[in-house]
């Protein structure tokens, strides 16, 4: 078989790194993009030991010419769009940048693929944030969107752009509506990594305090390496469709904290404080996904749940501090 080529937009992030590793193991030629590949450190690729196996190139999704040049040069069979501003909290401070990097960037990519005339399959990284608060119910592919942040608004726009290009032009394009998925590669600004690193620091120092926002919010947390496998599966189907990817179980942020501190023999109640400074202008009280369609069509099911994710992240954080 001819080796397939995959282009990963946003290869340096958590999902991009795990996806690159997965595709390399499957025999793909992997091209990774960054805004400026000549100066980017690609720390996650180094950490996973795959730097020398991934070809990197500069590409800016909001620049149509830049995207078209990359498609012409590398002629990918599959494109995974994981790029764009990725923080919900930061999107309140940078709403325009968030909208442009996600919504405009995705539309540029779709239009460039259409313009190329090649049969390229496209995966777009959606988000469960698009659903907003699901009021105690698990969201599926038919659940209406009600975004409650600039990030979610941008992701919803990109989602419908993908659907439109699929229906209007016959592109093999799909969106994965992924619920929260974590790993040791999460940046420190994400609350899950903040909890893990804070708990390890407090255990190491023999005391301390971790300040967080609303501990009563509930999320469906999964394991990132499993979720990138779902991305790949979506592009192997003959008929493109959008899929919710989730564990099907929701836990409060308080429960995540309790599990993290308990893993280190500590009581979270003694060390965690709430601080209004970390609360968002609008937030989601409850998030949970129903991935039964992915199980039926793709054969994908989550095997690791929140307690497993916490344990794996704690172990990785301890190893970093050894």
- The catalytic site residues sit at 127, 129, 151
Token pair for 144 = 């209406």
Taking the C-alpha atoms of residue 104 and residue 67, their distance in angstroms, rounded to an integer, is: 12
Going by their DSSP bridges, the two strands 243-245 and 173-178 should be labelled as parallel
Taking the C-alpha atoms of residue 87 and residue 187, their distance in angstroms, rounded to an integer, is: 10
Q: Which residues contact 305 (CB under 8 A, 6 or more apart)?
A: 221, 222, 247, 249
CA distance to 24, 61, 293, per residue, from 40 (Å): 21, 16, 38
CA angle centred on 139, ends 160 and 308, rounded to 5°: 115
Q: Looking up tokens 């309140």, which residue turns up?
A: 92
Backbone Cα Rg of the chain: 19
CA distance to 69, 271, 289, per residue, from 301 (Å): 37, 35, 12
CB neighbour class for 297 (10 Å; exposed up to 12, middle 13-18, buried from 19): middle
Residues constituting the chain? 322
Contact present, 215 and 272 (Cβ < 8 Å) = yes
Token pair for 227 = 């979720």
At 138 the three-state DSSP class reads: coil
Taking the C-alpha atoms of residue 172 and residue 156, their distance in angstroms, rounded to an integer, is: 19
Token pair for 129 = 């944030």
Q: Looking up tokens 């998925």, which residue turns up?
A: 181
150-169 helix and 105-116 helix, angle to the nearest 10 degrees: 20
């Amino acid at each position: 078989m001819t080796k397939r080529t995959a282009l990963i937009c946003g290869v340096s992030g958590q999902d991009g790194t795990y996806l690159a590793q997965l595709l390399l193991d499957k025999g793909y030629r992997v091209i990774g993009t960054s805004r400026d590949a000549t100066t980017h450190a690609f720390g996650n690729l180094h950490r996973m030991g795959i730097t020398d196996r991934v070809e990197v190139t500069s590409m800016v999704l909001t620049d149509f010419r830049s995207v078209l040049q990359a498609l012409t040069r590398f002629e990918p069979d599959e494109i995974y769009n994981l790029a764009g501003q990725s923080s919900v909290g930061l999107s309140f401070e940078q709403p325009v940048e968030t909208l442009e990097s996600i919504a405009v960037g995705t539309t540029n990519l779709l239009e460039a693929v259409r313009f190329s005339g090649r049969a390229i399959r496209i995966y777009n990284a959606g988000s469960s944030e698009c659903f907003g608060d699901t009021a105690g119910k698990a969201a599926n592919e038919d659940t209406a969107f009600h975004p409650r942040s600039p990030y979610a608004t941008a992701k919803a726009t990109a989602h419908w752009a993908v659907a439109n290009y699929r229906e209007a032009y016959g592109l093999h394009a799909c969106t994965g509506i992924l619920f929260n998925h974590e790993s040791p590669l999460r940046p420190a600004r994400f609350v899950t990594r903040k909890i893990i690193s804070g708990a390890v620091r407090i255990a190491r120092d023999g005391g301390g305090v971790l300040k967080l926002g609303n501990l009563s919010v509930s999320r469906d947390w999964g394991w990132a390496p499993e979720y990138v496998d779902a991305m790949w599966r979506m592009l192997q189907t003959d008929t493109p469709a959008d899929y919710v990817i989730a564990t099907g179980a929701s836990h409060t942020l308080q429960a995540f904290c309790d599990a993290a501190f308990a893993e280190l023999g500590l009581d979270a109640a003694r060390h965690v404080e709430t601080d209004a400074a970390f609360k968002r202008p609008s937030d989601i009280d409850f998030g949970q996904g129903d991935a039964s369609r992915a199980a039926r069509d793709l054969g994908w099911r989550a095997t690791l749940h929140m307690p497993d994710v916490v344990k794996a992240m704690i172990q990785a954080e301890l190893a970093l501090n050894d």
